[in-house]
């Protein structure tokens, strides 16, 4: 019969040492983890979207304002107004500005966007704008996250299906769960070499629709911009699928300043700046990259111009006027002068910021139906992006979000 095993003093000391090492390793991992450097205060109660007013007020006043440098447009999601500054994203009561939830990291934000009742927050680390978190817009709770090599600067945009993260050297398309569907441009460590069609190109501008991605890029040894039309979700996300690509021959493609304005399933709208012999224009292409229409402009679009999609139209803010484009054909429908930015839809009318307040426009004709008085504080001529939550109108001016109400 074998003698029973006995624990020696050495065994006990070894076990204690192993336990201590495991504890130290756990502390080190936690100390270096993202979780330690993240503060998440979720909502104690969620805010439902308030009802839309039956009629527009005759005047609005400023209710509150908060810094909002990381966003590019006014974000109102459900019943929550969203602001993003530094490393912090906050969901706010649209009437009071009080915090409903907060998500904060010790990293700077690269950009914030929203769709499907979520907030997409991208942060910068030593690999660029590589860390993205998806938050529930009602509660601020973390839904999922992704990490990948990205440029130091990216611009986020959404198309109702995908999120586009665009940098000067590479771009990515993400599904609603942040799973990547496409990478295009510079790939530091490609799984399959030589899957990218071109190398060393600068991605100037891009926009997407659920079935098309249009990229305007400037490539080495090419004297004009190249328009490339891609599948936003090819079978293999590391292997771009081109529908067409060609170097533009229109005069405005030979100078700086061209950009993609809008993309639909069948059309791509570009802005081409003017030259000494040609006027600036909207150039409309089909999905094969063929020019099918052009619309001359009386003046070039400002560098601060931007585009928004509402209802059945795209709205191009040129810097001093607003142009409505048909959402399918991109033909201009109407224009409105002396505008300060892009509109929001409220009570069946488009509200457009103007110098003395807000103009309410008929959606079909663009004719003004009424003027809403607004006294803007600390306004310095920055383009204004608008949104609305029930009766509250949101204006993002410069790097600040303002809430406007009638009482």
Residue matched to tokens 């020696």: 8
Amino acid 89: pLDDT: 98
Q: Which long-range contacts (CB under 8 A, 24 or more apart) does 322-326 make?
A: 322/352, 324/366, 325/261, 325/262, 325/269, 325/282
Instruction: Give DSSP secondary structure letters for 215-267.
Output: EEEE-TT-SS-EEEEE-SS-SSTTS--EEEEEE--SGGGGSTT-EEEEE-SSE
pLDDT-based confidence at residue 276 (cuts at 50, 70, 90): confident
The pLDDT score that the predictor gives to residue 277 is 87
Residue 236: is its pLDDT beyond 60? yes
Residue 314: the pLDDT is 97
Position 20 scores a pLDDT of 59
| pLDDT > 90 in the chain, percent | 80
Domain residue limits, the chain = 43-405
Closest of 350, 355, 255 to residue 300, by C-alpha: 255
Residue pLDDT, tens place only, 150-161: 999 999 999 999
- Looking at domain 43-405, does it have CATH number 2.130.10.10? yes
Determine whether 14 is exposed, middle or buried from the number of CB atoms within 10 Å of its CB (0-12, 13-18, 19+): exposed
Question: For 269-298, what is the mean pLDDT?
Answer: 93
- Helices H / strands E in the chain, number of each: 1, 33
Please check the confidence at residue 24 and state whether its pLDDT lies above 80.
no
pLDDT tens digits, residue range 125-136? 999 999 999 999
Residue 404's pLDDT band (cuts 50, 70, 90): very high
At residue 396, the 3 state secondary structure works out as strand
Distance, CA of 67 to CA of 39 (rounded, Å): 19
Q: 367 falls in which pLDDT band (50, 70, 90)?
A: very high
Question: How confident is the prediction for the chain on average, in pLDDT?
Answer: 91
Mean pLDDT of 231-256: 93
Tokens representing residue 238 in the block: 């590391």
For residue 140, how many other CB atoms are within 10 A of its CB? Answer: 23
Between 72 and 13, name the one with better pLDDT.
Answer: 72
- If you search the block for the tokens 């402009």, which residue do you land on? 297
User: Each residue of 45-67: pLDDT tens digit?
Assistant: 888 889 999 999 999 999 999 99
Report pLDDT for 232: 98
The kind and range of the H/E element at 402 are strand 400-405
pLDDT digits (tens, 9 = 90+) for 174-227: 999 999 999 999 987 655 667 888 989 999 999 999 999 999 999 999 989 999
What is the number of alpha carbons within 13 Å of residue 305 lying toward its C-beta?
A: 23
What is the distance between the alpha carbons of residues 89 and 38, in angstroms, rounded to a whole number? Answer: 12
CA distances from 326 to 229, 271, 333, 391 (A): 20, 15, 6, 27
């Amino acid at each position: 019969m074998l003698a029973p095993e006995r624990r020696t003093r050495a065994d006990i000391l070894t076990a204690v040492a192993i336990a201590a090492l495991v504890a130290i390793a756990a502390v080190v991992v936690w100390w270096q983890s993202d979780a330690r450097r993240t503060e998440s205060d979720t909502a104690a109660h969620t805010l439902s979207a308030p009802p839309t007013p039956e009629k527009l007020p005759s005047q609005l006043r400023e209710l509150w304002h908060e810094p909002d440098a990381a966003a590019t447009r006014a974000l109102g999601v459900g019943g929550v107004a969203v602001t993003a500054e530094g490393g912090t994203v906050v969901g706010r009561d649209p009437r009071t500005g009080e915090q409903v939830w907060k998500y904060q990291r010790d990293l700077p934000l690269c950009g914030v966007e929203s769709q499907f009742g979520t907030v997409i927050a991208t942060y910068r680390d030593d690999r660029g704008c590589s860390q993205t978190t998806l938050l529930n817009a009602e509660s601020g709770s973390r839904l999922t996250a992704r990490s990948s090599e990205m440029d130091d600067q990216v611009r986020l945009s959404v198309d109702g299906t995908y999120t586009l993260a665009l940098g000067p050297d590479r771009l990515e398309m993400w599904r609603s769960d942040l799973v990547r569907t496409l990478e295009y441009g510079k790939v530091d460590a490609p799984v399959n070499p030589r899957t990218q069609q071109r190398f060393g190109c600068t991605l100037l501008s891009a926009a997407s629709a659920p079935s098309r991605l249009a990229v305007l890029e400037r490539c080495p040894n090419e004297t004009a911009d190249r328009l490339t039309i891609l599948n936003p979700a090819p079978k293999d996300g590391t292997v771009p699928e081109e529908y067409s690509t060609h170097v533009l021959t229109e005069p405005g493609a030979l100078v700086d300043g061209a950009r993609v304005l809008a993309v639909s399933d069948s059309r791509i709208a570009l802005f081409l700046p003017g030259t000494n012999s040609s006027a600036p224009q909207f150039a409309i292409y089909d999905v094969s990259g063929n020019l099918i229409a052009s619309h001359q402009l009386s003046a070039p679009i400002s560098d601060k111009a931007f585009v928004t999609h509402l209802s059945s139209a795209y709205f191009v803010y040129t810097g001093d006027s607003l142009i409505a484009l048909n959402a399918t054909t991109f033909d201009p429908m109407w224009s409105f002068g002396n505008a300060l930015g892009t509109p929001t839809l409220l009570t069946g009318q488009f509200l457009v910021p103007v110098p003395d307040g807000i103009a309410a426009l008929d959606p079909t004709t663009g004719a003004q139906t009424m003027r809403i008085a607004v006294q803007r504080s600390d306004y310095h001529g920055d383009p204004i992006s608008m949104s609305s939550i029930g009766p509250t109108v949101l204006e993002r001016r410069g790097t600040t979000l303002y809430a406007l109400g009638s009482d």
